[in-house]
Amino acid sequence: MNNPSKRRAFLQGCALAMGSSLVPRLHQKATARDSLDHDRSQRFSVSTYSFWQFRGPKVPIETCIDQASRMNFDGLEILEMQMTDSSNSYIQQLKRRAHSQGLALCGFSTHQGFVSPDSTRRQDNIKKTIASIEQAYRLGIPTMRINTGRWGTIKSFDALMANRGIEPRLEGYTDDDAYKWVMQSIEECLPVAEKCGVVLGLENHWGLGRTAAGVLKIIGAIKSPWLQATLDTGNFLEDMYQQMKALAPAACFVQAKTYNGGGTWYTLDIDYPQVATILHDAGYRGWVSLEFEGKDDPLIAIPKNLELLRHAFDRQ
């Protein structure tokens, strides 16, 4: 084919043929990928709190791992307060035990309180939170629940719950003071969170975090990818679904409350198909962790609640 014009026409024809043959294959790959994204199953974990609920002696984390595996959960969320040892050897044994049963350690639930005019007290809570971040890192857990803390003017938690989580401010101080304390404290923790690769999830958990607006105010002011939200479905006592919709786009972890047999402090009738729709519409792809807070036998209620959640989320 010595004629240049014929040769050029031949090559152009080959290119067009090759391009047209690639289009269906590229389309097939895109369609398959979209299908995989759509069909990926929701992963469910269970909080170790579900097996204990602060009732009686602490249920060992090892027992919770075994029970979660037996009940066919995908992962386990650890309540730090439930741990009986913080040594590295103990932590590595927990990791090995979970791994051997195909269970992911996916969440670490911690307590701290930054709502205080006492800078020494706030600094103590910062140090405690940093130690918890480092412990989550050793456990291989990628996200950690934190709280704002609260004013502490109602001493009894039972009394606080009877008052729907609302308490008076400390005399002489305002919410603006409290937000400043909380933001400054969290900001001091973030460099360690980034170094350890642990995303902090600020929970709607009383205090300044009682509402979605309070949580989002803090997250929005700090503007760090290492600070997101832990959404607890059972801690919105007013406008439940509207507040979930507001917080869901910022969520890195979700705790799903259930109350078989009646709750310890209150019982909410949560529509989990609606919750699943809210999370789906917000583009949430993370863990949903069951927090059983009812009075029924947890070994009977927890598997029932896993099925309830699976059914609700399978409809998406």
Eight-state DSSP code of residue 196: H
Tell me phi and psi for residue 114, to 5 degrees. Answer: -105, 0
- Same domain, residue pair 118 and 30: no
Question: How many other CB atoms sit within 10 Å of the CB of residue 316?
Answer: 12
- Same domain, residue pair 22 and 49: no
Give the span between the Cα atoms of 311 and 313, in whole angstroms.
6
Residue 301 and residue 294 in contact, taking contact as beta carbons nearer than 8 Å: yes
- Same domain, residue pair 33 and 49: no
Number of domain units in the chain:
2
DSSP β-bridge partners for residue 257: 291
The range of the structural domain enclosing residue 165 comes to 44-314
Residue 315's pLDDT is what?
75
CA dihedral 50, 52, 54, 55 (to 10 degrees): 130
Q: pTM of the full predicted structure?
A: 0.87
Q: Which two tokens stand for residue 196?
A: 């350890």
DSSP β-bridge partners for residue 76: 46, 105
Give the span between the Cα atoms of 258 and 269, in whole angstroms.
8
- Same domain, residue pair 95 and 5: no
- Same domain, residue pair 18 and 52: no
Helix segments in 58-211, DSSP class H: 61-70, 88-100, 119-139, 157-162, 175-196
- Same domain, residue pair 35 and 51: no
- Same domain, residue pair 201 and 251: yes
Give the span between the Cα atoms of 283 and 225, in whole angstroms.
16
- Same domain, residue pair 148 and 221: yes
> Domain of 204: which CATH number?
3.20.20.150
- Same domain, residue pair 13 and 61: no
- Same domain, residue pair 34 and 143: no
- Same domain, residue pair 165 and 266: yes
Q: Which two tokens stand for residue 147?
A: 């709280």
Q: Across the 316 residues of the chain, what is the mean pLDDT of every consecutive 10-residue run? A: 47 44 38 45 97 94 98 99 96 98 98 98 99 98 98 96 96 98 99 99 97 99 99 98 99 99 96 98 98 97 98 88
Cβ-based neighbours of 2, under 8 Å, separated by 6 or more? none
Provide the terminal-to-terminal Cα distance of the chain, rounded to the nearest Å. Answer: 59
- Same domain, residue pair 35 and 52: no
